[in-house]
Structure 1
Amino acid sequence: MASVSVSHLIIFIASLVVAAGVAGTLTTGVERVSNAVEDGSLDVSQQVRTDIDIVSDPDSPSLNGNNNLTIHVRNTGSQGIFIQPDSIDMVVNGEFVPNSDLTVTDANGDRTTARTGDVMEITVDNTDTEYIPDGEDNRVYLTINSDEEVYEFRS
């Protein structure tokens, strides 16, 4: 009779160890999912609060003597945007423009952040690479915090 109770005790202890392992694994999994949802919601919140509009005239693009393109962008979202090339992704006529070819300034003054309603002036340095051919239709894709705008013009 004692051998039966010993074997039952061993099975009971083994089942407790397995249950504790399963509970620990489930707790860790739920915590990871919770953290992923929280991180995703912060990213979506930032994207929703960011909104931009290109206010440059497509019928009269701003091209200077070096064929540099200047685009004016208004922050219409509720979140400020850093006025620096690192915060902008730009594709001109299918070619990605590296940050080293962008100059970003505050069109209304000399702030470092474009607040709601502020206009930024983005200049594409076109002296090294021909991003903008003369007399052709051109397309600029501008992305800031996952908000995309398209600017089409004829040079």
Structure 2
Amino acid sequence: MAAGGPVSELIMFIVAVIVAGTVAGALAYVTTDIAGGIKVRGASLADQLRTDFAIINDPANIPVEGTGPYNYTFYIKNIGRVPISFTSEAVQVFIDGNLIPPANLTFMDVNGNVITSLDPYEVGVIKVTLGTQLSAGYHKLVVVLENGKKRSLVFEI
């Protein structure tokens, strides 16, 4: 009976060490998971901060060509630090809330050459082809990049 005290204390000590090890393992897993999430989110945020663009049209004078179909010209300037994809797969264009189909978009440089990316400080052209002319009055253009960065322009026809 005298040996029962130290044996029970030893068992309690072993159980305490096992419980402490389990808690430490769980905390290590959770901490690693949180750190990984912060790293991924930080990289995404850094990418969004390095990517920026502006629509540089004169809102009172949007160039239009043709008599049906009508080709509207919008100028985009990459004001970020990294190149942006400049294709119909990477850029969505909305006019008055309507998504313009990729087949109706042409992406070019200012010299009329088709391009697939827009380098920093470079100006690109988006030609939007519409079957009918936009009505007189105000319209809203929204350009959205593949990373979710968007800019809008209210223009007048």
For normalisation by structure 2, the TM-score amounts to 0.83
Q: Which residue matches 2:82?
A: 79
In 2, Cα distance between equivalents of 1:18 and 1:58:
68
Change beyond 3 A, Cα 1:3–1:142 = same
In 2, Cα distance between equivalents of 1:126 and 1:4:
90
Matches within 5 A, 1:137-148: 137-144=138-145, 145-148=147-150
Is residue 2:155 matched to residue 1:149? Answer: no
Q: Which residue matches 1:121?
A: 125
Q: Which residue matches 2:19?
A: 18
Asked if the contact 1:55/1:72 (under 8 Å) is kept, the reply is yes
CA offset at residue 100 of structure 1?
Answer: 4.3
Asked if the contact 2:85/2:91 (under 8 Å) is kept, the reply is no
Which sections of structure 2, spanning at least 5 residues, go unmatched? none
CA offset at residue 103 of structure 1?
Answer: 2.4
Q: CA RMSD in A?
A: 2.1
Question: How many residue pairs were aligned?
Answer: 152
Matches within 5 A, 1:19-34: 19-34=20-35
For normalisation by structure 1, the TM-score amounts to 0.84
CA offset at residue 58 of structure 1?
Answer: 1.7
In 1, Cα distance between equivalents of 2:114 and 2:130:
24
Is residue 2:50 matched to residue 1:49? Answer: yes
Which sections of structure 1, spanning at least 5 residues, go unmatched? none
Asked if the contact 2:143/2:150 (under 8 Å) is kept, the reply is yes
Asked if the contact 2:107/2:116 (under 8 Å) is kept, the reply is no
Provide the secondary structure at the position in 2 that maps to 1:57: coil
Q: Which residue matches 2:97?
A: 94
CA offset at residue 5 of structure 1?
Answer: 2.0
What amino acid sits opposite 2:108 in the alignment?
T
Identity of aligned residues (%): 25
CA offset at residue 27 of structure 1?
Answer: 0.6
Asked if the contact 1:83/1:106 (under 8 Å) is kept, the reply is no
CA offset at residue 6 of structure 1?
Answer: 2.0
